[in-house]
């Protein structure tokens, strides 16, 4: 008489090895993020927690402490909204993508123009990118102009740039 259970085992989720591989890939992604410049980091849709962890990790020199901190960064990346999208954006940085660079510079030019010219530049951008939220865009541009006049760095210019880049990416990927 056979006392063994002939039923196949129930699926309990990914194996321990698979979870370790996934965590290692997130740590590798974090390591690649450490190599990015500040302007490239600004262009990424990351949380302030992840940004602070990356900046902190750049200051750590001891090998073991840096390794542990990379584990922490991997844990934070796992909690981000779109780790796969984040990885694709970082791949675009590393590939030296001409298209990525072109869109980045285009967003910078629009941002600088909106800070210098005001609502006329906002209107011109809305002709280029019809899906943009006009009220949100005007608020961002107004706040960035205010920072520029006061010579403060409260991040309003960066917020405007991120929104412009998002709109440009949406508009141009819809044309492809």
Contacts 24+ apart (CB under 8 A), 152-160: 157/111, 157/115, 158/42, 160/111, 160/114, 160/115
What number of CA atoms fall less than 13 Å from residue 86's CA on the CB side? Answer: 25
Q: What is the mean pLDDT of residues 11-37?
A: 86
User: Which of the pair, 7 or 83, is modelled with greater confidence?
Assistant: 83
CA 60, CA 80: separation in Å to the nearest integer? 23
Rounded Cα distance between 15 and 11, Å, is 10
Q: Which residue has the higher pLDDT, 152 or 123?
A: 123
Q: Residue 95: pLDDT band by 50, 70, 90 thresholds? A: low
> pLDDT band for position 176 (50/70/90)?
very low
DSSP H or E segment with residue 163: helix 156-175
Question: Residue 132 in contact with residue 125, Cβ under 8 Å?
Answer: yes
Tell me the two tokens of residue 83: 């780790």
- pTM attached to this predicted model: 0.49
Reply yes or no on whether the pLDDT at 138 is more than 50: yes
Contact criterion met (CB below 8 Å) for 107 and 118: no
The Cα–Cα gap between 24 and 81 comes to: 18
pLDDT of residue 141: 92
Q: How far apart are CA 8 and CA 5, in angstroms?
A: 8
Report helix, strand or coil for 10.
Answer: coil
For the domain made up of 16-95, the CATH class stated in words is mainly alpha
Where is pLDDT greater, at 6 or 127?
127
3 pLDDT above the threshold of 70? no
Domain boundaries for CATH 1.10.60.30 within the chain: 16-95, 98-175
Q: What is the CA radius of gyration of the chain?
A: 22
Superfamily of domain 98-175 in the CATH hierarchy: PSPTO4464-like domains (1.10.60.30)
pLDDT: which is higher, 50 or 91: 50
């Amino acid at each position: 008489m056979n006392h063994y259970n002939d039923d196949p085992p129930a699926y309990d989720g990914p194996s321990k090895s698979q979870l370790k591989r996934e965590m290692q890939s997130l740590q590798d992604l974090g390591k690649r993020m450490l190599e990015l410049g500040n302007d490239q980091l600004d262009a990424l849709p990351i949380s302030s927690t992840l940004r602070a962890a990356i900046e902190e990790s750049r200051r750590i020199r001891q090998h073991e402490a840096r390794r542990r901190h990379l584990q922490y960064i991997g844990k934070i990346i796992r909690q981000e909204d779109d780790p796969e999208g984040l990885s694709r954006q970082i791949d675009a940085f590393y590939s030296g993508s001409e298209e990525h660079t072109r869109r980045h510079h285009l967003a910078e030019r629009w941002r600088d123009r909106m800070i210098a010219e005001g609502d006329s530049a906002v209107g011109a951008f809305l002709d280029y990118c019809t899906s943009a939220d006009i009220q949100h865009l005007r608020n961002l541009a107004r706040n960035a102009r205010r920072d520029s006049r006061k010579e403060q760095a409260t991040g309003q210019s960066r917020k405007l740039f991120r929104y412009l880049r998002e709109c440009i990416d949406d508009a141009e990927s819809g044309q492809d």
